[in-house]
Structure formats: structure tokens, C-alpha cells
Amino acid sequence: MNALPLAGITVIACEQAVAAPLATRHLADLGARVIKVERPGTGDFARGYDETVRGMSSHFVWLNRSKESVTLDLKHPDAKEVVHRLIAGADVFIQNFAPGAAERLGLGAEELRARHPRLITCAISGYGSSGPYRDAKAYDLLIQAEAGLVSVTGSEETPAKSGIPAADIGAGMYAFSGILTALYEREHTGVGAALEISLLDSLVEWMGYPFYYAEYGGTPPARTGTSHAAIAPYGTFTAGDGTDIVLSVQNEREWAAFCRHVLDRPELAADERFDTGSRRVAHRRALEEHIAEVFSGLTGEQVQRRLAAARIAHARQRGVTEIGAHPQLVARDRLTEVGSPVGPLTAVLPAIGLPGRPARMDPIPALGEHTDTVLEELGYDSRARDRLRAEAAV
């Protein structure tokens, strides 16, 4: 059986929270060895976000399978020596310390790459390493607010943050893709790279459509809940049995089919209030009243059958507790188990699948679980390991 594509790549991760751990978990999924450096005693503070997964944090379980946990107090001189030995044998060093902290610890990109030209470094921060916001606190909600995401999310009356950590996820994915790009380039040049990813830059990139809409249209996209500022009908509608159905009509052919086969009111297609996309948006409320009237007399199953017959894009609006039983995930065997300090846990297979090569789904590590093993690999005998532990360096 062929190895996973990143087998043989070693990643040293001084990481916590979401963005960096997401990037490195994806690298681990593809076969990289990820050694996660954590604080002695407490570890990655995401371990303590909640206790909902049999006493473990939901964030930590999500982001940290297939990694090795090593505890090091990076302010201790002997621990610094350990991390430098680790980096000397690594391909990638990723960190999301506060701005300037890596440099103070002797782990800045310039210093490390001077010693190790093939090393790829990746620094993740809230706002970047320069500019007036460089040292500002950068929690996900704050970045969502600064990037404008909150202003375009929610209902007409109330703005809202995304229900998932969108800024952290965006930065983690750009770190992941940036590291893959640097590894590919290194194959041609023999030289590593210094990557810098900020949460703000990542989320502003995702805000491209609202930015252009506002910049050239004169007004920002309206907050419309699950509706769309520029498309109607679009969003959530409730059937008579309470089933929430999300639908999207994107062109005139679909609009005519929707009126004829779903609403059973073909005359609406030529109604002057609704006969173009912009007019449907302008008269959204009246349009939605027509739809609500028809849907209220049908069950969710009946609505979905009509939508399917008319080839109208639609979905059920499901709750989070329904995801694990989603018929598409079940049919494609997308759910599996991973080990953990609290026993086997349900997990979703990685989104990147490689035919003929099973996904790597190794356990979630306990804090410091691999410290002795890694130290032994680096040449520290039992006496040296005991001394490091006695001095609270590990």
C-alpha cells in the first residue's frame, strides 16, 4: 500500500487554540508527523474550552488527532535546547505565539532559517507582524467584527457572528495550503520559506463579494438571515408540518419551473413584480408571502418532491445534532472512530480523500503523552529526562 503523501515530513508546532492546530491536523491527516509542543501542566488552552466530549474539549478533539504531545517550558534554557534539536530535524515549524514572542524565544523565522535554510516556517497572528493593530488582541469574534463579517451576517434587525470560528478556520486553511506550496517549491529549489498568515487578511479575502458589492454598488449587502441580498427566492421556508426547507432560484428558467411545478401558479412567472431577478429582490416580501401560502398546505416531503421534480436547488435545514445521521454521510461511510484519553470517539474522515490510501486517524494525545519518547529519540537518556522533569523544563 502506498504511503500517504506527507509521510516523512516532520512538523514542529508551538500551537494553541484553532488556526494553527487546524493547519497541522490537516498535515497530519496527509501523513506528516506533527509534534505538538505544549505548556507543562496546562497545555494548549483549547484543552480547557469545555468538557463536553466525555470530559474533553470539543475544539481540542476536533483539531488534534494524529499528533504527538510534548510538554516544554520554552522559557527554560534546557527546554529551548530541546525545541531547537526538534527543529533541526524538522521540515516545518509553525507557531501562533503573540507577535514578537517567537523572536524573544529565539524562534523567529529569520534566526531559524539562517540556521536551517530548508526549513519552512509559518507564523500565524491576528493582524500581522506590522501595522497599528500588530499587538491587538485577536480573538475570532473580534476579527469577524473588524473584517466586516458581522455586519453582513444575521437578520435585518440584528447583526451576528458566524456560528463557527470563521477567521480561525480561514487562517488555518491558508497556513495549510501555504505550507503545502512551500514544500512543493522546496522540491525544486532546495530552499525553505518564511510564511506569515494573519486572521484578518484571511477573512478579508473571504469578504471579497461583499467588498466589491459595497465598493462599486454604493451600499453594503443587506443582512437577510438565510436569504440573499441579490437573489430571490433564496433562503429558508417552512412547510406545513414544520420542516424547514432551504431553496435557491438562480435564473429565469428555474423561476418559471418553480412557479409552474412547485407553486402550481405559472402566472407568477410573468407577473411584472417578479419577472426579473432584480424585481424579485425588490418585491421579496410579496414573493415570499406567495411561497409561504403554498408551502403551508404541504408537508416537507411534498415540498421536496416538487422541488426535485422541477430541478430546483434545495436542502433541508438540519440541526447540528442531525449531522451524524445525515444519509449522505452514512451512505458514503464518512464517519469513523479515533482513540483518545477518554476512549474511542466518533470522527469525520478528512475532506481530502486519496483512493486506495486509508485516511490517517490516529488518537488524540493526552498532555505530554509523547514527551519521553521524543526526548529519547533526541538522545536524552533516562537520567537526563529525569533532570529535565525535576527542573520543570518539561
All structural domains of the chain with their residue ranges: 10-207+330-390, 234-316
Strand partners, 237: 245
Q: What is the mean pLDDT of the segment spanning 91-110? A: 95
Strand partners, 234: 248
Give tens-digit pLDDT for 227-285.
Answer: 777 788 999 999 999 999 999 999 999 999 999 999 999 999 999 999 889 999 999 99
Q: What is the mean pLDDT of the segment spanning 339-366? A: 94
Cα dist from 297 to 98, 217, 238, 284, whole Å: 57, 39, 10, 21
Superfamily classification of domain 234-316: formyl-coa transferase, domain 3 (3.30.1540.10)
Q: What is the mean pLDDT of the segment spanning 53-68? A: 97
Whether residue 263 contacts residue 291, with contact meaning beta carbons closer than 8 Å, is answered with yes
Place of cell 509559518: 122
- Which of residues 124 and 324 earns the better pLDDT score? 124
φ/ψ (deg, to 5) at 313: -60, 130
- Strands 10-14 and 33-38 turn out to be parallel
**Please, is 316 exposed, middle or buried when counting C-beta atoms within 10 Å of its C-beta (0-12, 13-18, 19+)?**
middle
Q: What is the mean pLDDT of the segment spanning 208-232? A: 86
Global pTM value: 0.90
DSSP of 3-38: PPTTTT-EEEEE--SSHHHHHHHHHHHTT-EEEEEE
**Please, is 372 exposed, middle or buried when counting C-beta atoms within 10 Å of its C-beta (0-12, 13-18, 19+)?**
middle
Place of cell 467588498: 211
Greatest alpha-carbon pair distance for the chain in Å reads 86
Q: What is the mean pLDDT of the segment spanning 17-42? A: 97
**Topology of 10-207+330-390 in CATH?**
Rossmann fold (3.40.50)
Distance of CA 209 to the CA centre of its chain: 20
Asked if the bond preceding 233 is cis, omega within 30° of 0, the reply is yes
Give tens-digit pLDDT for 296-343.
Answer: 999 999 999 999 999 999 999 988 888 889 999 999 999 999 999 999
Cα dist from 114 to 130, 176, 250, whole Å: 21, 23, 54
SS3 state of residue 386: helix
Separation between Cα atoms, residue 135 and residue 99, nearest integer Å = 6
- Strands 345-348 and 194-198 turn out to be unpaired
Return the half-sphere exposure (C-beta side, CA atoms, 13 A cut-off) of residue 351. Answer: 4
Share of the chain above pLDDT 70, in %: 100
Return the half-sphere exposure (C-beta side, CA atoms, 13 A cut-off) of residue 287. Answer: 27
Q: What is the mean pLDDT of the segment spanning 136-152? A: 92
Q: To the nearest whole number, what is the mean pLDDT of the chain?
A: 94
Separation between Cα atoms, residue 90 and residue 88, nearest integer Å = 6
Q: What integer pLDDT is reported at residue 1 of this predicted model?
A: 57
How many helices (H) and strands (E) are present in the chain, helices listed first?
Answer: 16, 11
